[in-house]
Structure 1
Amino acid sequence: MIRKLKLFTAIAAFGLLSPPAIAEDVVEDFQTWGQVMANINLGNVTGNENLKNWRLWLEGQGRFGMDSTQFSQSLIRPGIGYAINDKITVWAGYAWAPTSKPFANPNGGKNFDEHRLWQQLIYTDNFSFGRFQWRSRFEQRFFDSDIPDPGPNDVAYRFRQLWKFSFPMSFIHEKLSFIIQDELFINLNTPHAGWITRGFDQNRGFVGLGWKFNNTATGEIGYMNQYINRPHTIRPDQMQHIVGVNLFLNF
């Protein structure tokens, strides 16, 4: 177990410390992100056996940039899901993301709201070494009218692929775990000329520690490296060094 943990730690550290050298001029920032996410089994909370496969997703995030001194973005993301079996769940929902610097236009543009429709599939399984999660998410993104240079199609399509490993650290404490996570973002079209371009959008790598408070609540804290690919005619690429604090609730 310890040998496997060391191997995955080395792989994750190499990936996080060696981001893709896409641009020479990369703007860096230190940020703090907080997240609360609830996965609610409607059968459990209502007592209705007919709803035992239906799920409710409630998520809220706050993100602070510019060396964690000012609000940059928040995210409200509700959704509804259906458990195909004990490992696979399909979801659909809506997300609202009010956004300001450094994610908004850095050249004096206004703050903006982003609205998303999203669909996803989550596969989760337990192995002898720990817990693995695979999440594939498809998003349709809509922006307010202040976004510069709108193209003929105002909808931005994006695919996101997440892999997450949770390794129990029972040799230290039975409630402690080691977390490795990576998520790749791919833009599927170019709806806003020069602002969103088709292809690689960003990558988020996370390493941290998890603590299982009880059967309902699990907390995670760690470091996330976010690399954002920007069209260089508009602005340089961005790299965020993020302290992430997450609370996951299961009902």
Structure 2
Amino acid sequence: MSLRLKLTTACIALSLPVMAHASEDGQIWTTASATVKLSDRWRFSQEVVGRFSNDRDGLYEVEMNSLIGYKLNKRVTIWAGYTHDPQYNGGDFSVMEHRGRQQVTFDNIVKIGPGQLSARLRLEERWREGIDGTAWRFRPYVKYVLPFREGGKTALVLSHESFIDLNTTSFQRVEGEERMRNLIAITTPVARNVNAEIGYLHQHGFRPDADDSNDNVASFSLSFSF
């Protein structure tokens, strides 16, 4: 069995529900992001994510992330910024969430076969308007990018991210791992400095007092670099 087939099979297996009883939801996530090179070391990143759900009758979240990054070297960048995250119920506004975000990214740190492994460590502080408490969350992330041909820019993307709650509040109720995301996608350039990615993301949520959740997500994104 080829390395590409083995990795694809492994990612699909990770994407399957890990609990026998779980609620199911079909979703669509759309993302647009831009990274601007301010100098040799400084970067600015802006990302907007729109999320739509069958169970929530349409739009349920618009996540806007603004980050400033500083490259320590060609592989490691430290970032800090703010997330503006209005949430909706059936398209009607329900609650406003604000987040502080700090992260370290490690680009192409390990070569595995013909592909490259990258990683990210992210810490978030979350506040909701009109609700007491600060929720702390840790989000480790790994991504493997496997070009379809040597030197090519069209590639298979496999990624995993865990959400680990570091405390509990009235709106963050799980101690430890709250959810995981596993993605299998194809990325390709569509214009100069523009990449498109399309894929399937499985999000599994751990809920101690109810059935676990499984979100089956069609994921579409465009990324710009300047």
- Common fold: TM-score over 0.5: yes
- Secondary structure (helix, strand or coil) at the match of 1:86 reads coil
CA contact (8 A) 2:57 2:89 kept: no
For 2:175, give the aligned amino acid: R
Structure 2 CA distance for aligned equivalents of residues 189 and 67 of structure 1: 28
* Mapping of residues 98-177 of structure 1, within 5 Å: 98-101=86-89, 111-125=94-108, 127=111, 129-145=114-130, 154-170=133-149, 174-177=152-155
CA contact (8 A) 1:175 1:213 kept: no
Q: 1:223 and 2:220 equivalent?
A: no
Higher strand share: 2
Once the two structures are TM-superposed, the CA of residue 68 in structure 1 deviates from its matched residue by: 8.3
Of 31, 34, 48 in structure 1, the residue corresponding to residue 30 of structure 2 is: 34
Q: 1:87 and 2:72 equivalent?
A: no
- Secondary structure (helix, strand or coil) at the match of 2:203 reads strand
- Secondary structure (helix, strand or coil) at the match of 1:20 reads coil
Once the two structures are TM-superposed, the CA of residue 183 in structure 1 deviates from its matched residue by: 0.5
Cα 1:68–1:214 change in 2 (3 A) is: farther
- Large movers: runs of 4+ above 6 Å: none
For 2:44, give the aligned amino acid: L
- Secondary structure (helix, strand or coil) at the match of 2:2 reads helix
* 2:13 paired residue number: 14
**Offset from partner CA, 1:74-130 (integer Å, 9 cap, x none):** 10100101000010000000001111248x9xxxxx811111001000001173512
* Mapping of residues 41-52 of structure 1, within 5 Å: 41-43=37-39, 52=40
For 1:139, give the aligned amino acid: E
Q: Which runs of 5+ in 1 are unaligned?
A: 44-51, 105-109
* 2:168 paired residue number: 190
For 2:184, give the aligned amino acid: V
Once the two structures are TM-superposed, the CA of residue 231 in structure 1 deviates from its matched residue by: 4.0
Structure 2 CA distance for aligned equivalents of residues 14 and 219 of structure 1: 25
Structure 2 CA distance for aligned equivalents of residues 225 and 101 of structure 1: 21
Once the two structures are TM-superposed, the CA of residue 36 in structure 1 deviates from its matched residue by: 1.0
- Secondary structure (helix, strand or coil) at the match of 2:35 reads strand
Structure 1-normalised TM-score?
Answer: 0.82
For 2:147, give the aligned amino acid: P
* 2:2 paired residue number: 3
For 1:240, give the aligned amino acid: D
For 1:248, give the aligned amino acid: S
Structure 1 CA distance for aligned equivalents of residues 134 and 55 of structure 2: 31
